[in-house]
């Protein structure tokens, strides 16, 4: 692995991969909607941001997360700032969890994630319906929360492998 670190470009590319994946996913709206499974959707950026900010990953800059939110709003067509606020609130929640946790437990993190995305989607839904008069399906939000929660563990498992590769 020393060789890997010596190869500057590849190592930098590998260490910036999460933030690049975040930007690709917000630009590409990676949520597998085209599979046409009824109601199926999940929020990949939420999982990514929650995991890497919880691990206090050094290349996961809050400013870039904030910018990713702006990009997401532009692509989806939401009022500017909504997704940025959601993403930053996730960062705050993970920062708080880090401060109060002595012994990290994946299961506790998982249920804390459910609480956080539930709260953030509620705020999101409230702002859009109350201040911007959007018509939104509450059921879509609930299903999105459910699948995001379910898929968290799967992606967390993959991300752990990534971190392991980086630390080795």
Partner 1 sequence: MASSRDDFIIAIRSAFLKKSTQQKFSLLTLVFISIFIIVLSSFDLKFIRYLKAGISEVVYRSSFIVSIPENFLKNTFFEIREYSTFFQNYKINKEELNELKSKSISDKITQFENEELKELINNYTLSSDKLLAKIIVDHDSPYLKSIIINKGSKDNIKIGTNIYDRSYLVGRVVEVNYKTSRVLLLSDLNSNVPVTIAPQNVQAIITGTGENYGEIKYIREGISNLNLEDSIVYTSGTGAIFKSGTPIGRVVAVTGSSNRFKVDFYSDFSQLKYIFAELVTKTEVKNEDQQVEIENSQINNTADTKLQILEDEKKIIEQTNLKFKEENELLKIKINNLNKQIVDFRNEVYDQKQIIAQYNIDLDEIEFLRLNLKFGHTCRKSFLNNDGFEVGTLEYKSCVMNKGQAND
Question: Which parts of 95-114 interact with partner 1 (CB under 8 A)?
Answer: 95-96, 99-100
What DSSP assignment string belongs to 98-150? HHH-SS--HHHHHHHHHHHHHHHHHHHHHIIIIIS-----HHHHHHHHHHHHH
Pick the piece of the chain touching partner 1 (CB under 8 A) from 7-15, 102-110, 130-138, 154-162.
Answer: 130-138
Q: Which residue has the tokens 């990534």?
A: 162
Binding partner 1 by CB under 8 A: which of 17, 21, 114, 127? 127
Candidate list 140, 142, 160, 165; residue touching partner 1; CB under 8 A: 140
Size of residue set near partner 1 by CB under 8 A: 52
Residue pair 83/70 in contact by the 8 Å Cβ criterion: yes
Q: How far is the CB of 10 from partner 1 (least distance, A)?
A: 21
Q: Decide if residue 24 touches partner 1 (CB under 8 A).
A: yes
Phi and psi at 2, nearest 5°, equal -60, -40
Q: How far apart are CA 115 and CA 99, in angstroms?
A: 17
| Least distance in angstroms from the C-beta of 18 to partner 1 | 13
Distance in angstroms (rounded) separating the CA atoms of residues 41 and 8 = 37
Phi, psi (5° rounding) for residue 93? -60, -40
User: What is the phi/psi pair of residue 37, to 5°?
Assistant: -80, 130
43 token code pair: 């929020």
- Residues in 66-85 that interact with partner 1 by CB under 8 A: 66, 69-71, 74-82, 84-85
Smallest separation, CB 4 to partner 1 (Å):
21
Q: From the CB of 127, what's the least distance to partner 1, in Å?
A: 7
Q: Which residues bind partner 1 (CB under 8 A)?
A: 24, 27-31, 33-34, 36, 39, 41, 56, 58-59, 61-63, 66, 69-71, 74-82, 84-85, 88-89, 91-93, 95-96, 99-100, 127, 131-132, 134-137, 140-141, 143-144
């Amino acid at each position: 692995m020393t060789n890997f670190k010596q190869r500057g470009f590849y190592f930098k590319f590998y260490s910036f991969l999460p933030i690049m994946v975040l930007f690709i996913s917000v630009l590409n709206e990676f949520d597998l909607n085209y599979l046409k499974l009824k109601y199926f959707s999940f929020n990949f950026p939420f999982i990514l941001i929650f995991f890497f900010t919880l691990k206090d990953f050094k290349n996961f800059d809050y400013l870039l997360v904030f910018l990713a939110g702006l990009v997401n709003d532009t692509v989806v067509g939401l009022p500017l700032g909504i997704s940025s606020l959601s993403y930053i609130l996730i960062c705050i929640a993970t920062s708080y969890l880090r401060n109060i946790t002595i012994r990290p437990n994946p299961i506790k993190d998982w249920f804390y994630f459910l609480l956080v995305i539930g709260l953030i989607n509620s705020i999101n839904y409230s702002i859009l319906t109350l201040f911007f008069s959007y018509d939104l399906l509450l059921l879509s939000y609930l299903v999105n929360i459910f699948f995001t929660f379910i898929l968290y563990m799967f992606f967390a498992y993959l991300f752990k492998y990534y971190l392991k590769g980086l630390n080795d």
